[in-house]
């Protein structure tokens, strides 16, 4: 299939598979492989040079991981993609592709918690300085750039609090200075935002979330331009990354239905956010698709939709005991990390512990993942939760 002219939903159904190569079977098979046999000395010696273009060793890629990479690269509009064993590995290896001792990294303050930990722990130990910046900085990022600024990292909307970044403004500043940009696109992928079309150099996705979509596998992927590909690919090799073939298969299978799933997650997320914004117990809902959200204008300009993950805060003074009474009795919302599966989730969050460039002051914060259950049942479950919260005050 020629992928260039095709729309995302068509690519979700067709990219990265070729029944003609597999006995007419619709889905690519799972290849379990470490050793790859060469027939001649010449072939063996060539394999070292061609390790990213053909199957040469299990760690460098199997036909299954390559099919996944080909599919995601087409869907995200990239040159090539690199599959990782987790989303976190994709974040860390992509950063490591650009920084060395003595460098300076600009990191968004609302970054995924473990990425913050990687910067303040691992990178600091190796002499890379991270400066966290306000997610709303936009073109103001210019003032933070130094001669040794090696990369600018974005995540939009931000983890836990969902601030939308002005990606074009930041990319314009970065491009004028020749600084590469990386963006964690997990919230919107694989449908609602295309970072590479905005000039971002590395589009990072935790495929554990909507790509796999069924809460049963860990996967990550970094989608690259022609310029960024070898850097990220070599970085993955240097940290010994290998994406497991069964998990690549699950991620590929998840992609095929990601379009319809995400639209349903979007619809349920907006319905829950709207319901919550009308509850007297709620201080604020953080969902960029709501018209009064501070990020709404940027979201409308740059995104084509919203996923099912959003935040809210309860009124100040709501006790820990009342929050626990609400959450402990929920029937349909699991309390667990990660998200993007078919099922609804809820978590208490603590944004104030994960901010240094900005301050966070609110009542108790929650994060909800709107699943695919019936929306009336999802709302009724929250209704009962609020009744317990009010009884426990």
Ligand X SMILES: *Cc1c(COP(=O)(O)O)cnc(C)c1O
Output DSSP code: residue 29: P
**Closest distance to ligand X from the beta carbon of 311 (Å):** 13
Joined tokens for residue 349: 């969050």
- Residues in contact with ligand X, shown as a per-residue x/- string from 37 to 76 under the rule CB under 6 A: ----------------------------------------
Binding to ligand X (CB under 6 A): which residues in 142-171?
155, 159
- Residues in contact with ligand X, shown as a per-residue x/- string from 96 to 135 under the rule CB under 6 A: ----------------x-----------------------
- Give the integer Cα–Cα distance in Å for 215 and 238: 28
User: Near ligand X by CB under 6 A, which window of 82-90, 98-106, 290-298, 377-385?
Assistant: 82-90
Q: Could you say whether residue 195 binds ligand X (CB under 6 A)? A: no
Binding to ligand X (CB under 6 A): which residues in 219-258?
220
User: Near ligand X by CB under 6 A, which window of 85-93, 189-197, 273-281, 361-369?
Assistant: 85-93
Q: Is 292 a catalytic residue?
A: no
- Give the integer Cα–Cα distance in Å for 171 and 151: 11
Pair type for strands 104-108 and 282-286: unpaired
> Which residue in 6, 31, 57, 59 is the catalytic one?
59
What is the helix (H) or strand (E) element at residue 314, kind and residue range?
Answer: strand 309-314
- Give the integer Cα–Cα distance in Å for 171 and 62: 34
Could you give the count of Cα atoms lying within 13 Å of 212 in the half-sphere of its Cβ?
Answer: 29
Pair type for strands 129-133 and 181-184: unpaired
Q: Is 321 a catalytic residue?
A: no
**Closest distance to ligand X from the beta carbon of 328 (Å):** 24
At residue 223, φ and ψ (nearest 5 deg) are -100, 130
**Closest distance to ligand X from the beta carbon of 345 (Å):** 12
Output DSSP code: residue 64: H
**Closest distance to ligand X from the beta carbon of 135 (Å):** 13
Q: Could you say whether residue 88 binds ligand X (CB under 6 A)? A: yes
**Contact of 13 with 74, CB cutoff 8 Å:** no
Q: Which of 139, 109, 108, 107 is nearest to 359 (CA)?
A: 109
User: Near ligand X by CB under 6 A, which window of 86-94, 100-108, 348-356, 375-383?
Assistant: 86-94
- Residues in contact with ligand X, shown as a per-residue x/- string from 207 to 226 under the rule CB under 6 A: -x---------x-x------
**Contact of 240 with 93, CB cutoff 8 Å:** no
Q: Is 109 a catalytic residue?
A: no
**125 burial level (CB within 10 Å; 0-12, 13-18, 19+):** exposed
Q: Could you say whether residue 180 binds ligand X (CB under 6 A)? A: no
Q: Which of 146, 152, 149 is nearest to 172 (CA)?
A: 152
- Residues in contact with ligand X, shown as a per-residue x/- string from 311 to 340 under the rule CB under 6 A: ---------------------------x--
> Which residue in 17, 98, 112, 233 is the catalytic one?
112
Of 160 and 330, the one with the shorter C-beta distance to ligand X is 160
Joined tokens for residue 27: 């889905």
> Which residue in 109, 166, 184, 203 is the catalytic one?
184
**Contact of 119 with 267, CB cutoff 8 Å:** no
Residue of 86, 211, 266, 344 interacting with ligand X (CB under 6 A): 86
Q: Could you say whether residue 203 binds ligand X (CB under 6 A)? A: no
**153 burial level (CB within 10 Å; 0-12, 13-18, 19+):** buried
Q: Could you say whether residue 91 binds ligand X (CB under 6 A)? A: yes
Residue of 8, 206, 235, 313 interacting with ligand X (CB under 6 A): 206
Per the document, the length of the chain is: 393
Q: Which residues contact 100 (CB under 8 A, 6 or more apart)?
A: 128, 150
**Closest distance to ligand X from the beta carbon of 376 (Å):** 28
Q: Which residues contact 37 (CB under 8 A, 6 or more apart)?
A: none
> Which residue in 116, 209, 256, 355 is the catalytic one?
209
**Closest distance to ligand X from the beta carbon of 207 (Å):** 7
Looking at beta carbons, which residue is closest to ligand X? 87
- The residues that touch ligand X, with contacts defined as CB under 6 A, are 86-88, 91, 112, 155, 159, 184, 186, 206, 208, 218, 220, 338
Please list the active-site residues: 59, 112, 184, 209
């Amino acid at each position: 299939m020629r992928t260039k002219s095709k729309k995302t939903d068509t690519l979700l159904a067709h990219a990265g598979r070729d029944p003609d190569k597999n006995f007419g079977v619709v889905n690519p098979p799972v290849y379990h492989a470490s050793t790859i046999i060469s027939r001649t000395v010449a072939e063996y010696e060539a394999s070292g040079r061609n390790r990213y273009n053909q199957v040469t060793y299990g760690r460098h890629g199997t036909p299954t991981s390559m099919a996944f990479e080909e599919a995601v690269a087409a869907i995200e509009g990239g040159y090539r993609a690199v599959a990782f064993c987790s989303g976190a590995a994709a974040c860390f290896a992509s950063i490591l592709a650009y920084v060395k001792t003595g460098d300076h990294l600009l990191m968004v303050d609302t970054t995924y918690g473990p990425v913050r930990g990687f910067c303040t722990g691992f990178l600091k130990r190796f002499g890379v300085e991270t400066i966290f910046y306000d997610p709303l900085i936009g073109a103001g990022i210019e003032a933070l750039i130094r001669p040794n600024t090696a990369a600018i990292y974005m995540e939009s909307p931000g983890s836990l609090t969902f601030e939308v970044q002005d990606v074009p403004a930041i990319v314009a500043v970065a491009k004028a200075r020749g600084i590469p940009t990386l963006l964690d696109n997990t919230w919107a992928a694989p449908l609602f935002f295309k970072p590479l079309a905005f000039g971002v150099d590395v589009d990072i996705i935790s495929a554990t979330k909507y790509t796999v979509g069924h809460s049963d596998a860990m996967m990550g992927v970094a989608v690259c331009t022609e310029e960024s590909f070898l850097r990220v690919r070599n970085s993955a090799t240097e940290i010994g990354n290998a994406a497991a073939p069964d998990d690549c298969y699950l991620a590929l299978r998840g992609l095929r239905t990601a379009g319809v799933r995400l639209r349903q997650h979007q619809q349920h997320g907006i319905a829950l956010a709207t319901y919550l914004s009308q509850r007297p117990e709620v201080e604020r809902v953080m969902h960029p698709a709501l018209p009064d959200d501070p990020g709404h204008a940027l979201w409308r300009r740059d995104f084509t939709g919203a996923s099912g993950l959003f935040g809210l805060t309860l009124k100040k003074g709501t006790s820990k005991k009342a929050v626990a009474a609400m959450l402990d009795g929920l029937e349909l919302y699991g309390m667990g990390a990660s998200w993007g599966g078919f099922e609804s989730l809820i978590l208490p969050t603590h944004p104030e512990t994960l901010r240094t460039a900005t301050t966070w002051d609110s009542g108790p914060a929650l994060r909800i993942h709107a699943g695919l259950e019936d929306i009336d049942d999802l709302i009724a479950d929250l209704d009962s939760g609020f009744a317990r919260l009010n009884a426990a005050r």
